[in-house]
């Protein structure tokens, strides 16, 4: 059996350091908003090339709080894509704003900047580009439109820790960069966690308040905040893992290159990497018009695959209220039928990739 992902292998390679880090937290007895969170916030912001980092409870919460401090009000509109984790739309709804979807670029599967302006209204207040699968969205034209119409830009970088756009790390390009440390992400905790990075000192202060009940000190509360904090144990774990992130991303890139090279003459489409992009391959996603046959065949040969994501958000039951229909976003909808995520993680062996590729290349799944 080749599993889609194996988190235990990575843990075993760093278990001594992890156990030491967890033990230190237990011995110190400080579990919420202590030294590990503060240090990790600085280390991760620094890694992203941003001034401030605010550790929160999850990637979803990072997006939620960033949207709140962007000044998005009830019934405002926020631009994003229909092919993303449901969280990206949920947080727009949870501030009582309206998600407005834009179709994607057929080559990169990411927000198509040339389609944004047609969707803008007087109520549009923000754009959330998603660096899906680890490939950065085309940020320059997005930032240019945002500047012209005075819109906030919140990067959903939950799948793209360490990815670069024109030599700059994602997360540092818009007003806010939002990251998830869900265990399966390129930088994953052993539980939930997230972070917002920003260069705006005032907003950083507001975010710190919001994640902690709206408090400015022990007894005084300035706004109606939340309980959404990265905890000390997760921060201590993430500090150990951050040191490994570049090496792990390199390994993902090398294995993705191997897949693409071996699949060059096969019948499946392989992911592209734009000249201006550094892709960190959170997922390795291929394309086939007979995706379901391929998936079933690989399953029968004990190769586990997944689909990210089979149902676009505008066609989810929970978003019927927006009134979208089939064919509203044809590029995205077609893609949802064709994409398949193959196993990819830093510790995956070349032997396993060779085996997966030989199964795809033997073409028997097509009959």
The footprint of ligand PLP (CB under 6 A) covers 58-60, 84-85, 87-88, 130, 156, 158-159, 180, 182, 192, 194
User: In whole angstroms, how close is the CB of 67 to ligand PLP at the nearest point?
Assistant: 12
Distance from C-alpha of 57 to C-alpha of 50, rounded to nearest angstrom:
20
Contact 314, 101 (CB under 8 A): yes
Select 65 or 353, whichever has its Cβ closest to ligand PLP. Answer: 65
**Residue 300 CA from chain centroid, whole number:** 30
Select 102 or 357, whichever has its Cβ closest to ligand PLP. Answer: 102
Select 87 or 262, whichever has its Cβ closest to ligand PLP. Answer: 87
Nearest by Cα to 96 from 122, 81, 75, 117: 75
User: In whole angstroms, how close is the CB of 82 to ligand PLP at the nearest point?
Assistant: 12
User: In whole angstroms, how close is the CB of 179 to ligand PLP at the nearest point?
Assistant: 8
User: In whole angstroms, how close is the CB of 206 to ligand PLP at the nearest point?
Assistant: 21
Query: Which residue of this chain has its Cβ atom nearest to ligand PLP in the complex?
Result: 59
Select 159 or 305, whichever has its Cβ closest to ligand PLP. Answer: 159
Nearest by Cα to 204 from 347, 343, 52: 52
172, exposed or middle or buried, with CB in 10 Å at 0-12, 13-18, 19+? buried
Select 123 or 183, whichever has its Cβ closest to ligand PLP. Answer: 183
User: In whole angstroms, how close is the CB of 306 to ligand PLP at the nearest point?
Assistant: 12
User: In whole angstroms, how close is the CB of 49 to ligand PLP at the nearest point?
Assistant: 20
The string of DSSP codes covering 57-113 is S-HHHHHHHHHHHTT--TT-EEEE-SSS-HHHHHHHHHTT-EEEE--B-TTT-SB-G
Select 130 or 210, whichever has its Cβ closest to ligand PLP. Answer: 130
Beta strands in the chain (DSSP E): 52-56, 77-80, 98-101, 124-127, 152-156, 164-165, 168-169, 176-180, 194-198, 277-278, 284-287, 339-342
């Amino acid at each position: 059996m080749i599993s889609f992902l194996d988190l235990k292998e990575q843990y075993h390679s760093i278990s001594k350091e992890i156990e030491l880090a967890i033990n230190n937290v237990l011995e110190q007895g400080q579990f919420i908003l202590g030294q590990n969170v503060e240090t990790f916030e600085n280390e991760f912001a620094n890694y992203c090339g941003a001034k401030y980092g605010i550790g929160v409870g999850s990637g979803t919460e990072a997006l939620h709080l960033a949207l709140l401090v962007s000044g998005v009000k009830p019934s405002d509109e926020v631009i994003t894509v229909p092919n993303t984790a449901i969280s990206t739309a949920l947080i727009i709804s949870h501030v009582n704003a309206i998600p407005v979807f834009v179709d994607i670029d057929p080559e990169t599967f990411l927000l198509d900047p040339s389609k944004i302006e047609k969707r803008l209204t007087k109520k549009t207040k923000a754009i959330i580009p998603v660096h899906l699968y680890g490939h950065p969205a085309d940020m320059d034209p997005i930032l240019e439109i945002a500047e012209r119409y005075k819109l906030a830009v919140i990067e959903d970088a939950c799948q793209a820790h360490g990815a670069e756009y024109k030599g700059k790390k994602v997360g540092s390009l818009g007003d806010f960069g939002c990251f998830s440390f869900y265990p399966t992400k390129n930088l994953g905790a052993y539980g939930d966690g997230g972070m917002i990075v920003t260069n705006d000192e005032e907003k950083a202060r507001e975010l710190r308040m919001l994640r902690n009940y709206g408090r400015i000190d022990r007894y005084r509360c300035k706004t109606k905040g939340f309980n959404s904090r990265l905890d000390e144990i997760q921060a201590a774990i993430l500090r150990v893992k951050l040191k490994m992130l570049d090496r792990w991303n390199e390994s993902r890139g090398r294995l993705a290159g191997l897949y693409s090279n071996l699949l060059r003459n096969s019948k499946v489409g392989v992911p592209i990497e734009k000249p201006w992009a550094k892709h960190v391959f959170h997922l390795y996603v291929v394309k086939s018009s007979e995706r379901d046959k391929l998936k079933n065949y690989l399953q029968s040969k004990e190769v586990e695959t997944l689909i990210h994501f089979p149902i676009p958000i505008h066609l989810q039951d929970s978003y019927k209220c927006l009134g979208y229909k089939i064919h509203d976003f044809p590029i995205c909808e077609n893609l949802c039928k064709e994409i398949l995520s193959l196993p990819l993680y830093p510790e995956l062996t070349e032997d396993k990739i060779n085996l997966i590729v030989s199964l795809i290349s033997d073409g028997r799944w097509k009959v």
